[in-house]
Amino acid sequence: MKHFIITGKKHAGKTQFSDNLREILALYGISVGGFLCTGTFKNGKRDSFFIKSLIDDKVELFADKNENNNNNNLSFGSFTFYKKGFLFAKHEYEKSILLKRNVIFIDEIGRWEIEGGGFRELFNKIPVFSSIAAVCRVDFADEINSLFFNNLAEIININDDILKCAEKIKNQSKGYMHYDKIK
């Protein structure tokens, strides 16, 4: 299966582009799974992240600027990451594999995964019948491609024509074809 890296600049709309892309893929009959990390902003800065399932649209708090971190959570940069959010994301990834989704999105891949944390373990279980669409900042795209995809993933920039991107993914992600409607 061909894998993809969806990239753009910081706060440029990578998650929204990915969400729109998955809706177009669903219209093509491509089954989509995985998760996106939606965020909220406060005073022009990222304030929190939520994991959004691409199977059933369920949402779980993933990270925020809570300074009262306890031992059950992890800190990276200025954020507290909640183990419950990690478990939810992992569950959505594994559920996508069990359902044999054609394309599985993994959003917000970056420095933490490069350094061995975050969602890195998900890249140890890439199914042979699914294309992975990893979403990351343009600054990390080449390193992520090298580290997780042996430089074989195709890089898609969010400034590219979304319909052409969807067509490309559709034509190169022909694992198990599902015709179920994705919300």
Q: Which domains occur in the chain, in start order?
A: 4-172 (3.40.50.300)
* Structure confidence at residue 182 as a pLDDT band (50, 70, 90): very low
Contact in structure between 166 and 21 (CB atoms under 8 Å):
yes
| 35 token code pair | 């998760």
pLDDT at 178: 42
| 12 token code pair | 């440029």
| 151 token code pair | 């430089």
In terms of Cα–Cα distance, which of 183, 180, 181, 164 is closest to 172? Answer: 164
Contact in structure between 21 and 15 (CB atoms under 8 Å):
no
CA distances from 9 to 36, 132, 141 (A): 17, 20, 11
Contact in structure between 96 and 34 (CB atoms under 8 Å):
yes
Distant-in-sequence, close-in-space partners of 143: CB < 8 Å, separation ≥ 6: 114
In terms of Cα–Cα distance, which of 99, 109, 154 is closest to 130? Answer: 99
Amino acid at 154: E
pLDDT at 70: 66
User: Facing residues of 50 across strands?
Assistant: 38, 61
pLDDT at 69: 61
* Structure confidence at residue 179 as a pLDDT band (50, 70, 90): very low
Q: Is the pLDDT of residue 140 over 60?
A: yes
Distant-in-sequence, close-in-space partners of 162: CB < 8 Å, separation ≥ 6: 17, 20, 21, 24
| Residue 26 backbone dihedrals phi, psi, to 5 degrees | -60, -40
pTM tops 0.85, yes or no: yes
- Placement of tokens 């491609």 in the chain: 145
Mean pLDDT computed over 2-12: 94
Q: Where are the alpha helices (DSSP H) in 6-82?
A: 14-27
pLDDT at 177: 43
User: Facing residues of 82 across strands?
Assistant: 73
- Per-chain mean pLDDT for the chain: 89
pLDDT at 78: 76
